[in-house]
Chain A
């Protein structure tokens, strides 16, 4: 059982007071959801490192240290700010400081694609919000539900295949310390298919605590291929929660590349809710300085004949740290489950840290599950082999680290994005 601080902390209360004072008059979540979210937050508080799931990621501590007072004063962005962030082969949609900005987004009429801001939703659609990411499962989801902006709702109607990637650019830009709660809802209808890129940036000179929540529904026989690109820079502290639910014969995949951000916490929760569906979660990070990247995945196999695959790789330099915590539940009805998980890491300095924790809980008896984790230094034998052929130490290291990351970089099937990741990756080596 988790160790949870039972009383609301002063930090949480201070944050709540400040956010409530600055909150807009319009709320985007159902009222009942906001009430219960705030109640949960007041009760449990923002997690600190005493919370089992946040052992290596003290969010409360960061709020206390870096976000004692928040200004909630934001910069408006212009098309020139966004232009370099776009992907040329995609439909580019823009969310600034938690609000979907139609004026900065590309308008394209694509059969089956609906893009709306939360304030444009029908009552039926609005009811979907927070149907997947529940406030009572995590205080940061609750924080988001209580204070999220006018987020983005994206839907692919039945049996439509979107021929180009959809790129959501989430940009934060504060004028003074800010806390941004960004939310999106993605629904891929039965037999539909889409490729989604979600990129994260912070523009400007202010510190931002970014608390992102995305709910994703992949319905019967639908396919959602996601790429997450995190490059928020050293002034950003972010928590990303992806809550996905897959229906029968559905296929969901995500490849997350984390290239910067002082703190990046990824909660990737996937529910395989019906038989014969699959999920693939992959991640690559490289950290330096005092950066911290904390990947948590939870794959919940609820029904039979489903498959999940996870491959996470990390390179930690300087005094940085990385975490991979992968939970897999195989419920008692989930017979014939195939679940594989692997985490491999390279430590580039004596002061760098990697924590890995695979957690498999299996309640069915006819399953195939495996997990493996390794953390080590760069292979000195391979390094010597390269040097013995005339390749200098620096180049040899880079060749080996690129080789280590290559299988994940290869998964990024969008050329402009792959190039962007590769360029930043090589720069960080």
Chain B
């Protein structure tokens, strides 16, 4: 699905990713954990195509194509989806119009015809149930006046609508109460299949009680310093990040 090799990225003079290696196959769920400032959000931004970062070294192959050569919109059209940590409010652009435009641009990219209004609305109805999103929210402006939980559910709703191959969930659990967390996690679980893959980026183990990962990676100072199964997350929860910091301080 995606193969990240020796990825280095900087913002200004500051190198934030310092040689990331990661291989994610179809059907897998990977969790990337790490303390604040370890580069988690930078990794998701770089993969999604945010232009604030300079890639200084390395390569990313996504379904056989060089991801780093593609514009952000083409990455999305190829099936990459980023659930934003802080979904932005866009007053005046309705959720529905936004999603219809997105869906049809993706379809056009793959040489498919536009989806009919009827089919589109049926899809909206179906997928909004998945995250228990009030149908009224679908017709409002993108994220405008949404609560924190509604914004995160809207991200998963969009993911359901666009049906990506690889979803990167950037701190999707942050700011969610336990009920909202359950709804979001159940949505993600229902969308999981043997043909798609998920990368969960999170600070806390909590989310992983609901979405069980196949692999857990610990990111520290721009590198993956440790990888393991789901038990690694529990170990990390028990010991805290200080242990990791101590262990890998020397490698700096």
Given known A385-B84, A395-B101, A399-B101, contact A390–B92 (CB-CB < 8 A): no
Contact of B49 among A388, A392, A403 (CB under 8 A): A388
* 97-129 of chain B: CB within 8 A of chain A: 97-99, 101-103, 105-106, 109
B87 & A389 in contact (Cβ 8 Å cutoff): no
CA distance A274 to B82 in the complex (A): 58
- For residue A387, CB closer than 8 A to chain B, the reply is yes
B105 & A384 in contact (Cβ 8 Å cutoff): no
Set of chain A residues within 8 Å of B93, measured between Cβ atoms: 386, 399-400, 402-403
Set of chain B residues within 8 Å of A404, measured between Cβ atoms: 92
A402 & B105 in contact (Cβ 8 Å cutoff): no
- Closest A-chain residue to B87, C-beta based? A385
* 175-218 of chain B: CB within 8 A of chain A: none
Contact of B92 among A386, A388, A393, A403 (CB under 8 A): A403
Set of chain B residues within 8 Å of A83, measured between Cβ atoms: none
For A19-40 the 0/1 string (1 means CB < 8 A from B) is 0000000000000000000000
* 377-429 of chain A: CB within 8 A of chain B: 379, 381-382, 384-393, 395-396, 399-400, 402-404, 406-407
Set of chain B residues within 8 Å of A381, measured between Cβ atoms: 88
B98 to A: closest C-beta gap in Å:
7
CA distance A391 to B75 in the complex (A): 11
Contact of B162 among A379, A384, A390, A399 (CB under 8 A): A390
A406 & B92 in contact (Cβ 8 Å cutoff): yes
CA distance A381 to B48 in the complex (A): 13
CA distance A384 to B76 in the complex (A): 11
Main SS of the interface on chain A?
Answer: helix
- Closest B-chain residue to A405, C-beta based? B92
- For residue B223, CB closer than 8 A to chain A, the reply is no
CA distance A390 to B48 in the complex (A): 11
Set of chain A residues within 8 Å of B87, measured between Cβ atoms: 385
A213 to B: closest C-beta gap in Å:
35
Residue of B49, B84, B105 with most chain A CB atoms under a 10 A cut-off: B105
- For residue B69, CB closer than 8 A to chain A, the reply is no
CA distance A396 to B87 in the complex (A): 16
Instruction: Give the tally of cross-chain contacts (CB within 8 A).
Output: 74
- For residue B73, CB closer than 8 A to chain A, the reply is yes
Given known A400-B90, A406-B92, contact A389–B102 (CB-CB < 8 A): yes
Set of chain B residues within 8 Å of A391, measured between Cβ atoms: 73, 98, 101-102, 105
* 208-227 of chain A: CB within 8 A of chain B: none
- Closest A-chain residue to B77, C-beta based? A390
Set of chain B residues within 8 Å of A399, measured between Cβ atoms: 93, 97-98, 101
CA distance A407 to B144 in the complex (A): 15
- Closest A-chain residue to B76, C-beta based? A390
B32 to A: closest C-beta gap in Å:
18
Set of chain B residues within 8 Å of A385, measured between Cβ atoms: 84, 87-88, 90, 142
Set of chain B residues within 8 Å of A389, measured between Cβ atoms: 76, 98-99, 102, 158, 162
CA distance A393 to B70 in the complex (A): 13
CA distance A317 to B92 in the complex (A): 21
Set of chain A residues within 8 Å of B11, measured between Cβ atoms: none
- For residue B229, CB closer than 8 A to chain A, the reply is no
CA distance A385 to B141 in the complex (A): 14
CA distance A68 to B88 in the complex (A): 53
CA distance A403 to B109 in the complex (A): 25
* 359-388 of chain A: CB within 8 A of chain B: 379, 381-382, 384-388
A237 to B: closest C-beta gap in Å:
33
Set of chain A residues within 8 Å of B72, measured between Cβ atoms: 384, 387-388
Given known A395-B101, A399-B101, contact A390–B88 (CB-CB < 8 A): no
* 60-103 of chain B: CB within 8 A of chain A: 71-73, 75-77, 81-82, 84, 87-88, 90-93, 97-99, 101-103
CA distance A379 to B142 in the complex (A): 14
A387 & B73 in contact (Cβ 8 Å cutoff): yes
Set of chain B residues within 8 Å of A390, measured between Cβ atoms: 73, 76-77, 102-103, 105-106, 109, 162
- For residue B245, CB closer than 8 A to chain A, the reply is no
- For residue B226, CB closer than 8 A to chain A, the reply is no
For B212-251 the 0/1 string (1 means CB < 8 A from A) is 0000000000000000000000000000000000000000
B142 to A: closest C-beta gap in Å:
8
CA distance A395 to B73 in the complex (A): 11
A393 & B98 in contact (Cβ 8 Å cutoff): no
Set of chain A residues within 8 Å of B91, measured between Cβ atoms: 403
CA distance A392 to B102 in the complex (A): 9
Given known A384-B50, A388-B48, contact A393–B101 (CB-CB < 8 A): no
Given known A387-B76, A403-B93, contact A382–B88 (CB-CB < 8 A): yes
CA distance A385 to B101 in the complex (A): 13
CA distance A392 to B158 in the complex (A): 17
Given known A387-B49, A399-B93, contact A393–B88 (CB-CB < 8 A): no
CA distance A199 to B19 in the complex (A): 63
Set of chain A residues within 8 Å of B101, measured between Cβ atoms: 391, 395, 399
Set of chain A residues within 8 Å of B102, measured between Cβ atoms: 386, 389-391
A406 to B: closest C-beta gap in Å:
5
Set of chain A residues within 8 Å of B84, measured between Cβ atoms: 385, 388
Which 3 A-B residue pairs are closest in the complex by CB-CB distance?
A: A403-B92, A390-B76, A389-B102
Q: A390-B73, A402-B93 are in contact. List 17 more A-B contacts (CB 8 A).
A: A384-B50, A385-B88, A385-B90, A386-B90, A386-B102, A387-B71, A387-B72, A388-B84, A389-B98, A390-B109, A399-B97, A399-B101, A400-B90, A403-B92, A403-B93, A403-B141, A406-B92
Binding site for A on B (CB under 8 A): 48-51, 71-73, 75-77, 81-82, 84, 87-88, 90-93, 97-99, 101-103, 105-106, 109, 141-142, 158, 162
- A-B CB contact pairs (8 Å), 22 listed: A379-B88, A381-B88, A382-B90, A384-B50, A387-B71, A388-B72, A388-B73, A388-B76, A388-B82, A388-B84, A389-B99, A391-B101, A391-B102, A392-B73, A393-B73, A399-B93, A399-B97, A402-B92, A403-B91, A403-B92, A406-B92, A407-B92
